[in-house]
Amino acid sequence: MGVRRGRNVIGFDGSMCDLSHKVRYVPSIYHHKMEYNFRTIIEPFRIHSVEPLHMTTRDQRIGAIEECGFNVFNLHAQDVLIDLLTDSGTGAMSRDQWAAIQHGDESYAGSPSWFRFEAGVKELFAFEHIIPTHQGRAAEKILFSVIGGPGKVVPNNTHFDTTRANVEASGAEALDLLIAEGRDPSNLHPFKGNMDLDALDGLLATRASDVPAVFLTITNNSGGGQPVSLANIRGVSEICRRYGVPFFLDACRFAENAWFIHEREPGQGERDIADIVREVASLADGMTMSAKKDPFGNIGGWLAMNDDALAEKCRNLLILTEGFPTYGGLAGRDLEAIAQGLKEAVQPDYLRYRIQSTAYLGEALHAAGVPVVMPIGGHAVYLDAKALLPHVAPLEYPGQSLAVALYEVGGIRACEIGSVMFGRQPDGSEKPAAMELVRLAIPRRTYTQSHIDYVIEVVSAVAARASSLPGYRMVYEPTTLRHFTARYEPIV
Ligand code: F0G
């Protein structure tokens, strides 16, 4: 036998034979046409180019983290074995993205790479104006410089740290209106990223004129990578339209959010992922985007909207800070990589693997008795440091302590999302965050199942000695986004 094509078979010697008058041999295994469901999640790709990992000893890691003032952001990436600090810009590019990069045209204005990028974005997000930026926070900075300001309030399900910082830098207030279930790490609500629609309605009923835009972060990164349902997005859109307030998406993980809608929301399971994404976009008036997440860019982002006057103001600022409106701080090759990445981000085989492999890590830790935010989110597993280190007070940073231990014990770098990241108030005072989490973010298509099995072993070993981990105090604290550069010492 050879390769079957229609009713002909191509022999391995290249000859063709017509099977139309012959009885086809059907192996017995196929008799019932049964689909086998195997448990092993296979990566839907094979490895094309490899990057070595650098091994270190425990003593070397202890020395390295001490030198860094116990802040994992200060480590040399060389000294990290499995880097789960972020899923941002760290995914593996595909063969087709590298091929697209070869088409990168670096013309200052009107490059063909720009037009491919713009078309790729509009294919999913059909906004009138697409304004490229070098990453997501640049889009936030431009937008809030135009629409923010003292006396204004910007609601969101949960602001990501850079979003909050950019809202506050303009003098406006950043308000989180997440549903109550989203703040309970063990609640199994399928859409824990949903906005509290009553709270939003209440806010707009009294202060609509102070709200320059309502934001919705999909998936809700700071709240555990939890999705927002299509019904909730429709609800936010309806409320915003009723009060005449623009509705913006912070859409970094739009494809993962659409996959959760496809899997969990009644009536959505038969839809194409791209179709769900297009509906989500059609419900909003604009978006900010970090193309370093779902679109598989190493760098990049955009700001999009339908409002012509707002777009003009934003483009004027863009030229001042990012570049001409057809490249906005990106090389032509970056624009090409993102345009191709957007096509790959909405492929069901990829998304099934992506979401299942994140759940594989989270569910294994949960089964081992490690407290994790449930259900498992899209891009990351969030360890509940408050539950694991009850002896460490929130303002002695249990998440920070856990992150240091993961590095010391196994060379794993993770990110605190708790009172270090959110505890500092605009007036300089400090208050505990709603949750003390440590995020194990999974770079896209980068680590294999054996890397993840190693992570499960290390986290379990650290959890077993969690009661001996110390609290930390800050010995250096910058005024904004302090988690990036703060220095600490253990409280002994
Ligand atoms: N919004 C969300 C929800 C994000 O997760 C991020 C970045 C941004 C905006 C800003 O985008 O990094 O391109 O400027 N999140 C990364 C993370 C850094 O690790 O979660 P950016």
137 lines ligand 1 (CB under 6 A): yes
Mean pLDDT per 10-residue interval, the chain, length 492 residues: 41 44 54 78 93 96 97 97 97 97 97 98 98 98 98 97 94 97 93 98 98 98 94 98 98 98 97 98 98 98 98 97 96 98 98 96 97 95 96 97 98 95 89 93 97 98 97 92 93 92
Name the DSSP letter for residue 84.
Answer: -
What confidence tens digit (pLDDT) does each residue in 8-39 have?
444 444 444 444 445 555 555 555 677 788 88
Q: Can you give the pTM of this predicted structure?
A: 0.91
Q: Secondary structure of the chain: what % helix, strand, coil (to 5)? A: 45, 15, 40
The verdict on 308 and 450 lying in the same domain is no
* Domain end marker among 327, 345, 363: 345
349 alpha carbon to ligand 1 midpoint, in Å? 25
In this structure, is residue 49 part of a structural domain? no
301 lines ligand 1 (CB under 6 A): yes
* Domain end marker among 323, 345, 367: 345
- CATH code for the domain of 352: 3.90.1150.10
3 alpha carbon to ligand 1 midpoint, in Å? 47
The verdict on 66 and 25 lying in the same domain is no
- CATH code for the domain of 184: 3.40.640.10
220 lines ligand 1 (CB under 6 A): no
The verdict on 293 and 386 lying in the same domain is no
The verdict on 387 and 417 lying in the same domain is yes
In this structure, is residue 448 part of a structural domain? yes
The verdict on 215 and 326 lying in the same domain is yes
What total of structural domains would you count in the chain? 3
221 lines ligand 1 (CB under 6 A): yes
156 lines ligand 1 (CB under 6 A): no
The verdict on 68 and 100 lying in the same domain is no
Point out which residues pair with 441 in neighbouring strands: 380
The verdict on 102 and 82 lying in the same domain is no
**Three-class secondary structure of residue 59 per DSSP:** helix
In this structure, is residue 41 part of a structural domain? no
Handedness of CA 118, 123, 125, 128 (dihedral sign): positive
Instruction: State which ligand 1 atom lies nearest to the alpha carbon of 379.
Output: 20
Protein residue with its CA nearest to atom 4 in ligand 1:
160
Q: Residue 480 has what pLDDT? A: 82
The verdict on 262 and 133 lying in the same domain is yes
In this structure, is residue 43 part of a structural domain? no
Test site for ligand 1: of 216, 248, 293, 442, most ligand atoms within 8 A of the Cβ: 293
In this structure, is residue 289 part of a structural domain? yes
Q: Residue 426 has what pLDDT? A: 82
The verdict on 332 and 365 lying in the same domain is no
Q: Residue 31 has what pLDDT? A: 59
CA distance 91 to 357: 14
Domain that holds residue 130: 95-345
375 upstream amide cis, omega within 30 of 0: yes
Q: Residue 434 has what pLDDT? A: 86
CA distance 486 to 20: 74
CA distance 125 to 251: 10
Q: Cβ atoms within 10 A of the Cβ of 30, count?
A: 8
What confidence tens digit (pLDDT) does each residue in 205-239 have?
999 999 999 999 999 998 889 999 999 999 999 99
In this structure, is residue 39 part of a structural domain? no
CA distance 93 to 296: 7
Place of tokens 């890397």: 451
Residues 6+ apart with CB under 8 A from 50: none
135 lines ligand 1 (CB under 6 A): yes
The verdict on 262 and 322 lying in the same domain is yes
How far is C-alpha 159 from the geometric centre of its chain's CA atoms?
Answer: 13
160 lines ligand 1 (CB under 6 A): yes
CA distance 457 to 445: 21
The verdict on 299 and 219 lying in the same domain is yes
Q: Residue 4 has what pLDDT? A: 43
The verdict on 172 and 190 lying in the same domain is yes
Bridging pattern class, strands 286-290 and 247-250: parallel
